[in-house]
Amino acid sequence: MSTQADTFEVIVIGGGQAGLSVGHHLKKRGVRFLILDGSARIGDPWRKRWDSLRLFTPARFASLDGLAFPAPPDSFPTKDEMADYLESYAAHFELPVLNGVRVQRLSRSDGHYRIEAGSRVFRAEQVIVAMSNYQRPRAPAFAKELDAEIVQLHSMHYKAPSQLQPGSVLLVGAGNSGSELAMELVKSRQVYMAGRSTGEVPFRVGGFLGRVLLVRLVLRGLFHRILTIRTPIGRRLRPKLLVGGGPLIRVKARDMAAAGVERTPRVAGVRNGQPVLEDGPALHVKNVIWCTGYETGFSWIDLPILDERAVPRHQAGVVPDAPGLYFVGLHFLYSLSSGMIHGVGRDAERVAELAHARLHEGARLPAGASVRYRSVGFSR
């Protein structure tokens, strides 16, 4: 393919819900763009999650802009239903997604952004990185010291109990993933769950009261409008929310206790090949699942825009140090809903409009483009 054919006004990196939402808004504005996605098929990151996974939010909050999720509004979609919806979304809007293209380097050369993916090279006036913070599974360094006979998995790679060997399992991490897996695995084996409590929402999300509170107060109110970078409470809590786990949504501590899940202190290290708890004793288990989160995975960005934690420096998705570079899909990019399906559209619309304006106004936009925030999507 020629250099000219590989040059676009905008290239979107990532074909998940963030990238597809950005693509929808770019297409509405007539921008010449391409979405690059490393998966073989749209929705594959969802398909590869554990078999029993269901969304924590109801279908009414699983829709991207312009196309309703095809399920009863108060049902909780499966991960495969979510994957199929994303695939149908791209087809419905005829979005230009190039699958199987994993970006290995993003740099800048000759006034354009340069995107390298294997033997292919793309050029773009602007780039939108549409990916979450959760790209590479993270486990403590001492994990490699565990006995070789212990089966180890990260929650990202867990699919079903059949992957584990008979015997007890230790779940390291007490967030939503750990609690969901604990309830599945305790049906067939002894389950230990290590880590501090992250709290829990004080209602059943599937009940009538839960549906009302979850929709009106939590998702629409607290996550989408109150906890934002424009409110004092949002700015105060944002640093903590960026690094800490959220409250348990579906599973309650009393559910796990009643089912027989044994809570333990955090895992502090390894002794004689066995995990050692913070209060001293070792646990003799056959399996360990690390529910310990993810690294950002942005080391392929060869631009001076990452902080000491390898997290992009940005202002609501706009990168001041790299004009024409944006992010969508990051945790708390503008609000706590930014990394969620129901919240990504607002950020996608705003960033798409900023990219479109930069192309057609012919002028350098202010670093944060704050003058446009109110008129481009933040009123939703």
Q: What is the reported pLDDT for 380?
A: 66
Q: What is the reported pLDDT for 143?
A: 96
Q: What is the reported pLDDT for 5?
A: 43
Q: What residues contact 260, with CB distance under 8 A and at least 6 apart? A: 186, 190, 191
Stated length of the chain: 380
Kindly list the distances between the CA atom of residue 252 and the CA atoms of 163, 174, 216, in Å, as whole numbers in the listed order. Answer: 26, 11, 21
Q: Using an 8 Å Cβ cutoff, are 252 and 105 in contact?
A: no
> What SS3 class is residue 294?
strand
Q: What is the reported pLDDT for 379?
A: 56
Q: What is the pLDDT along the chain (380 residues), one digit of tens a residue?
A: 344 448 999 999 999 999 999 999 999 999 999 999 999 999 999 999 999 999 988 898 899 999 999 999 989 999 999 999 999 999 999 999 999 999 999 999 989 999 999 999 999 999 999 998 777 899 999 999 999 999 999 999 999 999 999 999 999 999 999 999 999 999 999 999 999 888 887 778 777 777 777 667 777 888 899 999 999 999 999 998 887 767 888 899 999 999 999 999 999 999 999 999 998 889 999 999 999 988 888 999 999 999 998 899 999 999 999 999 999 999 999 999 999 999 999 999 999 999 999 998 754 444 444 333 333 445 56
Q: Which of 346, 342, 160, 176 is nearest to 251 (CA)?
A: 176
Write out pLDDT tens, residues 303-360.
999 999 889 999 999 999 999 999 999 999 999 999 999 999 999 999 999 999 999 8
Q: What is the reported pLDDT for 351?
A: 98
**Domains in the chain, CATH or no CATH each:** 7-135+296-372 (3.50.50.60), 143-200+247-290 (3.50.50.60)
Q: Which of 13, 122, 108 is nearest to 302 (CA)?
A: 108
Q: Which of 288, 290, 306 is nearest to 298 (CA)?
A: 306
- Torsion from C-alpha of 300, 302, 306, 310, nearest 10 degrees: 30
Q: What residues contact 239, with CB distance under 8 A and at least 6 apart? A: none
Q: Which residue has the tokens 């029993």?
A: 52
